[in-house]
Amino acid sequence: MRRNPVYSREMKVNSRSLRLPLILLLFNGILFLVTLLNMYSVVAQVRTSATIQYASFMELYEFVTTIEFILLLLIIPAVTASGISGERERQTLELMLTTQMTASEIVAGKLMSALSTLLLLILSSCPAVAMVFVYGGITWADAFALLVCYITVALFAGIAGLCFSAMFKRSTVSTVV
């Protein structure tokens, strides 16, 4: 099986751009800020009542994973929304279509590049989500189910972003939609 050239090119361009580190910084900054503020409130509650309520750690996990889910749901379509329309704006789509690659290979390469970015976001946010493991709030099966849920939603959101990117000629319009 040969490697998808669109995926290779997209990964090179993404890794060399300033956009990926900024997305990582913003995504993880928001997650860690929410996590630390919630942990601070739990510690403050322990100081006032001198009891540890382990249910608050579960609430922390639910809140942080919900925030991560919403961020992924917003970031992935924004990453993929300029895939096809951006090629059209740079006037390179016709050139790509003249190669031996099929249209589905081009779209698959763009989608796999976006999913690779998503995987990087999920892996980099593991320390924020794993704070609950310290207190025994979730099991490994729960963490795996969460990962499967994130990947499924990212796949859906990425496909929707690429669909809008193919439908509209301008990247800004497809990103807004």
Lowest mean pLDDT among 84-98, 107-121, 144-158: 84-98
* pLDDT reading at 1 higher than 50: no
User: Directed axis angle between helix 103-124 and helix 5-16, to 10°?
Assistant: 40
Q: What percent of the chain has pLDDT over 90?
A: 0
The C-alpha angle with vertex 79 and arms to 165 and 140, in degrees rounded to 5, equals 125
* Mean pLDDT of the region 113-140: 78
